[in-house]
Structure 1
Amino acid sequence: MKLISWNVNGLRAVVKKDFVKTFEELDADIFSIQETKLQEGQIDLDLSGYHQYFFYAKRKGYSGTAVFTKEEPLNVHQGLGIDEFDDEGRTLTLEFKDFYLINSYTPNSQQKLKRLDYRMRYDDALREYMQKLSVDKPVILCGDLNVAHEEIDIKNDKTNHKNPGFSDEERAKFTELLNSGFIDTFRTLHPDDVKYSWWSYRFNARKNNAGWRIDYFVLSDNGKKMLKAADIHTDIYGSDHCPIELDLDI
């Protein structure tokens, strides 16, 4: 089973940049996207053979998540049950026979970490939610988690230390998540590989590969036997992020 996750930085914008062609070429069983930046009725996607599920932010043109899946899920759940996060359309859960899939667009803590407290509360709520679900069956978390975990995950670690996405607090929360019974699938399979999933639009960052790995597939320990392969599609454009892939043996 192939899973893809991609922060498209505006679904309507990326559709104008061959999104559907890329979608068809990747041929994922489950395709999760973040930062849809739209409301209900603002797009009509023809994705033959896929069920489509959206979770919109209340604020127009902001945030939002979606999942497109060949197999119809047993259940679909929007949010974490906490208004301050759910109003931004950040978390979408699909239950399948063998696992739960959680698609997350984790809040950016913003310049000078002015939204760090909000971000920390989200991380805690998401981790607790994942732990509860994992008692029942394996949990897969995918999405833009807005943190480069280790120095290997960011091009310029020293100059970015304490910046949003590479603060000690955010990195510690990701460590806490992993220590609570989860693995970073790409780093588990590729402990020494340097690949990024996001590049700033400034300073020719993508051309110079001055990037960050902030997009992840995280898997609960009770699902490790399913883990087959993980990759980052750095050759696919259309957003400031690139798609990431997880392959499962189910």
Structure 2
Amino acid sequence: MAVKHCYFCRKHQDLKIVSYNVNGIRAAINKGFIEWMQTVDADVVCLQEIKAMEDQLTTHLFEDAGYPYHYWYSAQKKGYSGVAILSKIKPNHVEYGTGIDYMDQEGRNLRVDFDNFSVMSLYLPSGTNIARLDHKLQYMADFQQYVNELRQDYPNLVICGDYNICHRAIDIHDPVRNKNVSGFLPVEREWIGNFIDSGFIDSFRYFNDEPHNYTWWSYRANARANNKGWRLDYGMVSEPLEDRLKRSVILPEAKHSDHCPILLEIAS
């Protein structure tokens, strides 16, 4: 039996997808990321901010951990940005980038297509200054258009990653003081709301509407210990997959990065 079909023969199991901004894959490995990943035992792992080229990595570590299929899409600038996907299932196709040059120079989008769904690892830019905020807003607009067109051919999409935006006030520890900070600006919040309304489900909020659930914490002022965080990482699932959604959770106990991973499960 072909490897790529192995999952689809497990009729009574759900597909487990993890997404994790590792803030440097080499640093995360040194903090026990590989061992943690084996414990979680996801079928597909989306990584963001890998900050490495493939030839800088000991890739057999991922194969030894049970992920024979691994795909790396690095930024042209060394030590910056970059995304990856690790999979136990052989995809039918791997799409590197969006075809939009300024996006692809920074290695921010990587997609794998399986028989009846696709998974994308996304790392949306941050808006740390005026120039980067303008870049982020342009990216957001162009990405929405790209996805609108993509869904015509790939309607069953899971877009996991670091969106660098908190959607609602309950997604950030101090919405009042952060209202003028990139990541919680009205224009950014409006965009992610419109993105969801265009045909996506924020899978975590589909199951959990409680506050104080975050995926990123500053390294300063003991923010993580005090849970003063932001929910920047999402598992966005296109609406045709709604009846296959089984679970979506945040995994704050994983501490290989200033982010923590998210996990979602969809039925076979």
Aligned length in residues = 249
| Structure 1 residue runs without a partner (length 5+) | none
SS at match of 1:238: coil
- Per the alignment, residue 19 of structure 1 pairs with 33
Q: Distance in 1 between matches of 2:92 and 2:142?
A: 23
Alignment of 1:220-239 (within 5 A): 220-239=238-257
SS at match of 1:157: coil
Please say if 1:88 is aligned against 2:102.
no
Alignment of 1:194-205 (within 5 A): 194-205=212-223
- Per the alignment, residue 104 of structure 1 pairs with 122
- Per the alignment, residue 183 of structure 1 pairs with 201
Q: Distance in 1 between matches of 2:144 and 2:201?
A: 13
Alignment of 1:9-158 (within 5 A): 9-45=23-59, 46-47=61-62, 48=64, 49-50=66-67, 51-111=69-129, 113-136=130-153, 137-158=155-176
What amino acid does structure 1 have at the position aligned with 2:103?
F
Q: Distance in 2 between matches of 1:138 and 1:188?
A: 17
Q: Distance in 2 between matches of 1:236 and 1:33?
A: 14
Deviant stretches of 4+, over 6 Å:
none
| Structure 2 residue runs without a partner (length 5+) | 1-14
Shift of residue 196, structure 1, vs aligned partner: 0.4
- TM-score relative to the length of structure 2: 0.90
- Per the alignment, residue 180 of structure 2 pairs with 162
Please say if 1:244 is aligned against 2:244.
no
SS at match of 2:56: coil
- TM-score relative to the length of structure 1: 0.97
Q: Distance in 2 between matches of 1:133 and 1:82?
A: 13
